[in-house]
Structure 1
Amino acid sequence: MLECLAKEGLLEKKGERYVNSRIAQTHLCKNSSLPMLNFLKKHFYDLEIWLNLAEIAKKGAVEVKRENLFSKLVIHAMAEHAMMGELQWAVETVAQYEEFRRARKMLDLGGGHGLYSVAFTQLNPNLEAVVFDLPEVVEKAKHYCKSSARVRFMSGDFFKDEIGGGYDFIFSSCNPAGKNSAMFPKICNALNSGGIYANKQFFWDDCSLDLLDLEWNLWNFGIEKGEKRFTFKGDLSLDEYLKELEKHDFEILGIHSYGDQKMIVARKTK
C-alpha cells in the first residue's frame, strides 16, 4: 500500500521510511494549509449514490434535504475548492473595474461560505458586504467570515424573499438563481444606477451529455434540475442571458473565462 501511495505521489520514500509528500501535507492532513478533505468527502458522497443506480433507474433520483446537504457538506467543499485558484481569479478580475473600486456596499447573492465577500472587502477597504443565503448556510458562513468586520449576513430564500437594496456591487457565483430570468427584477431593484453585477456560472451551450451530467441527475434537493450538471429548469443560455441583461438596462463590460465557467460583468445604466 505504501509503495502504491508513493507511486501516486501522495508519499515519498526516504530510505526505509515513507513520509507525506508535499501535496499530501498541503491538502490531505487535518493541519493542512489548504485542506481538501471536505471536497473529497463530497466526491465520495456522489460516488456512493452510484451504488443505488438500479433503484434510481426504477424509482427516480434520490431526494436529499437541502438544508442538510448545503450546510453540512456542500458549503465546506465549495470553500476548499474556491481557495485553489477560482476565488483569487474572480476577485482579481472584478477588481480591475473602476466601478468595483468605487463601490461601498456589496451583495454576495447565495454567497455560501462568504469567502468571496471577505476577499472583495480586502481589495476594497471602503467596501461593506452582505452575504445572502439560507439560514442554515449563513450560520456556517459566519465561521469562515469571523475575521472580517465588514461582512454581515442576511438569511432568506432568494426565490421568495427580498434581498435588500442600495448595493453598488452584486456578486453571484454558481447558485441556482444564477441563470434564471426570474431574478432580474430583484437584482435590478437592489442595484444602484451605475453599479456592477458580476455573475460567475457554468454555461454549457452546445455541449453533449456525459457521465458527470448523469451523476448530477442521480439526486435532487427540491429544485428541478436541467440535464447538464450545475443547471436547473428555466436556465438561460449564455446568449439568452446577455440579451436579458441588455433588456434590463445593463451594459456588458466583459465576459471572462475560468475553466468551464464564464463570469459576466455588467453595469446598470439606469
Structure 2
Amino acid sequence: MLKFPEENPKELLKLFEEVYSNARIFYLLKTALDLNIFDYLDEFKSAEELARGLKTDPFLTEYILKILHKLGILEFKDNKYRNRGLANIYLRRDSEFNIITPLNYYFENIKNWENLKLILENKLKNKNESLGKMFSKVIKRMADECKCWELKKVLDYVSKYDEFKNAKKLLDLAGGHGLYAIGFSMLNENLKCYVFDLPEVIEETKKFIEKYNAKNVFTIAGDFYGDDIGSGYDIIFTSYNPGGKNPKIAKKVYDSLNKGGLFINKQFFLEVEENIMDYLNNMEWNFFRPKGLKKNKLRYTFEGDLKFSEYISYLKSIGFEILDIVDMSKLLDNEYYSSTKMIVAKKI
C-alpha cells in the first residue's frame, strides 16, 4: 500500500474521461433528436417554456440547452435559446434538407459497438437478406444525405459540360434513389434519364420519381454484374456503388456509351489506413458480410476492385480519355471526402 506504481495513471484516466464525455454528448444529441427539441426552437424560448412543451424535467432540460449552445447548435440571449441556422436547416423535421434519418444511422450503428464482444466471438450474425432488400432499406438515408449538399454541387458541375447540354439519353447506373437522374432531367429538358438498380431498390426509386413528378425519368431493374444495362447512352453516371472500381463494369459502361459519350464515376478510393478513424471504420465495415456482397478488407472496397491509379490506366486502355478528376473534398468543402474522386471520362 505504501509503494507507488511505476507509472502515473493520469494519461489513461484522461483518455477514458474524454471518451466518456464524448459518449455522453452523443447520447445527449440522440435524446435532443428523439424529443424533437429543434422543432420547438425556431424562436427564442426559455428552458422552462421548452420543458412545459416537452413535459420534461426543467432542471435537466436547461442543462441540455446549455450544452447544445456550447456545441454551437443553439443561440443564447436573455436566458432564452433558439436554433442557429444549421439546426433550422438540418435538424428540424419540417425542413426539406433535414438529415435526421442519416443521423439516426449513427444511433443504430452504435448498437453494434455495444455488442462488439459478441461480434468478435462470432455470436452475433447479420440477417440473411438479399442485397436488393438491404439496399432498399438505406435508400432514404442515402437520399437525405445526398440532397442536403452533394447533389446540387455535382449537378452544377456536370451540367457545365457541352456533352451534357447536348445529351439525349442518360443512365444512372446503380442509381438507388434516382435523385441524380431526376436532377439531370430538370437541368436538360431534352434528356431522357434511366435509373438502373436491383428490383427491390427500383420499387423505392419509383417513389422518388413520383414525388418529384419526373416525367423524363424511367427505371430498369436488374443486376449490373450479369444483366444488360442497355445501349445508346450519351452519359452514364454512377455514384458510390459496389461495381464502381471494377474493370468488368467499366468495360460494360464503355460498350453501352455512344462515341463521344461521358462516363462520370464518383467513388471512394480508400487504399491505406492512416489513423484511428480508419481502423474504426474498417472494423465496422467488416462486422458483417451480407450474402452476395464480396467485401475486401478496406471500407468501400470489393472483390475485383482496382486501385485508383490502376483504374485510371484501365479506363485509358479500353478507349476513354480522362477529361477531369475531381477532388470531392474540395468540391464539397468537406474533409470527410478526402478519399473520394469523381472521374469524368470520354469515349473516343
> When the two structures are superposed, what TM-score results if normalisation uses the length of structure 1?
0.92
Q: Equivalents in 1 of 2:272, 2:120: separation in Å?
A: 26
User: Contact 2:237/2:264 (CA < 8 Å) preserved in 1?
Assistant: yes
1:97 paired residue among 150, 161, 173: 161
Residue in structure 2 matched with residue 239 of structure 1 by the alignment = 309
Deviation at 1:131, TM superposition (A): 0.5
User: Contact 1:145/1:151 (CA < 8 Å) preserved in 2?
Assistant: yes
The equivalences for 1:102-117 within 5 A come to 102-117=166-181
Per-residue CA shift, 1:228-249, capped at 9, x if unaligned?
2211122111111111111211
Q: Equivalents in 2 of 1:206, 1:13: separation in Å?
A: 43
Q: Which one is further off, 10-19 or 146-155?
A: 10-19
Deviation at 1:17, TM superposition (A): 4.0
User: Contact 1:86/1:258 (CA < 8 Å) preserved in 2?
Assistant: no
Q: Which one is further off, 23-32 or 8-17?
A: 8-17
Q: Equivalents in 2 of 1:244, 1:226: separation in Å?
A: 20
User: Contact 2:163/2:262 (CA < 8 Å) preserved in 1?
Assistant: yes
Does structure 1 residue 191 correspond to structure 2 residue 270? no
- Structure 1 unaligned spans of 5+: none
1:205 paired residue among 249, 268, 271: 271
Q: Secondary structure at the match of 2:115?
A: helix
Q: Equivalents in 2 of 1:32, 1:211: separation in Å?
A: 32
Q: Which one is further off, 184-193 or 103-112?
A: 184-193
User: Contact 1:170/1:191 (CA < 8 Å) preserved in 2?
Assistant: yes
Q: Equivalents in 1 of 2:123, 2:237: separation in Å?
A: 34
Could you tell me which amino acid in structure 2 is paired with residue 237 of structure 1?
Answer: K
Deviation at 1:184, TM superposition (A): 2.7
Residue in structure 2 matched with residue 37 of structure 1 by the alignment = 100
Does structure 1 residue 20 correspond to structure 2 residue 83? yes
Does structure 1 residue 267 correspond to structure 2 residue 267? no
Q: Which one is further off, 190-199 or 225-234?
A: 225-234
User: Contact 1:106/1:129 (CA < 8 Å) preserved in 2?
Assistant: yes
Per-residue CA shift, 1:80-129, capped at 9, x if unaligned?
11123222222222222222222100000000111111111222221110
User: Contact 1:62/1:220 (CA < 8 Å) preserved in 2?
Assistant: no
Structure richer in strand, relative to its length: 1
User: Contact 1:165/1:190 (CA < 8 Å) preserved in 2?
Assistant: yes
In structure 2, the CA distance between the partners of 1:71 and 1:138, relative to structure 1 (3 Å rule), is: same
Structure richer in helix, relative to its length: 2
Residue in structure 1 matched with residue 300 of structure 2 by the alignment = 230
Q: Which one is further off, 52-61 or 79-88?
A: 52-61
Per-residue CA shift, 1:176-235, capped at 9, x if unaligned?
010011213321221111111000001123443421121111122221212222111221
Aligned length: 268
Could you tell me which amino acid in structure 1 is paired with residue 302 of structure 2?
Answer: F
User: Contact 1:61/1:217 (CA < 8 Å) preserved in 2?
Assistant: no
Deviation at 1:22, TM superposition (A): 2.7
Q: Which one is further off, 209-218 or 152-161?
A: 209-218
Q: Secondary structure at the match of 2:235?
A: strand
Q: Equivalents in 1 of 2:296, 2:194: separation in Å?
A: 29
- Structure (1 or 2) with the larger CA radius of gyration: 2
User: Contact 1:61/1:218 (CA < 8 Å) preserved in 2?
Assistant: no
Could you tell me which amino acid in structure 1 is paired with residue 285 of structure 2?
Answer: W
Per-residue CA shift, 1:131-172, capped at 9, x if unaligned?
111122112122222221111111111112211111110001
Could you tell me which amino acid in structure 2 is paired with residue 191 of structure 1?
Answer: L
Could you tell me which amino acid in structure 1 is paired with residue 85 of structure 2?
Answer: R
Could you tell me which amino acid in structure 1 is paired with residue 134 of structure 2?
Answer: L
Q: Equivalents in 1 of 2:124, 2:195: separation in Å?
A: 31
Q: Equivalents in 2 of 1:177, 1:63: separation in Å?
A: 22
User: Contact 2:235/2:261 (CA < 8 Å) preserved in 1?
Assistant: yes
The root-mean-square deviation of aligned C-alpha atoms, in Å, is 1.9
User: Contact 1:2/1:18 (CA < 8 Å) preserved in 2?
Assistant: yes
Could you tell me which amino acid in structure 2 is paired with residue 256 of structure 1?
Answer: V
Q: Which one is further off, 30-39 or 218-227?
A: 218-227
Does structure 1 residue 70 correspond to structure 2 residue 131? no
> When the two structures are superposed, what TM-score results if normalisation uses the length of structure 2?
0.72
Does structure 1 residue 217 correspond to structure 2 residue 280? no
In structure 2, the CA distance between the partners of 1:60 and 1:164, relative to structure 1 (3 Å rule), is: farther
1:168 paired residue among 231, 234, 247: 234
Q: Percent identity?
A: 41
Residue in structure 2 matched with residue 130 of structure 1 by the alignment = 194
1:155 paired residue among 210, 221, 236: 221
The equivalences for 1:240-255 within 5 A come to 240-255=310-325
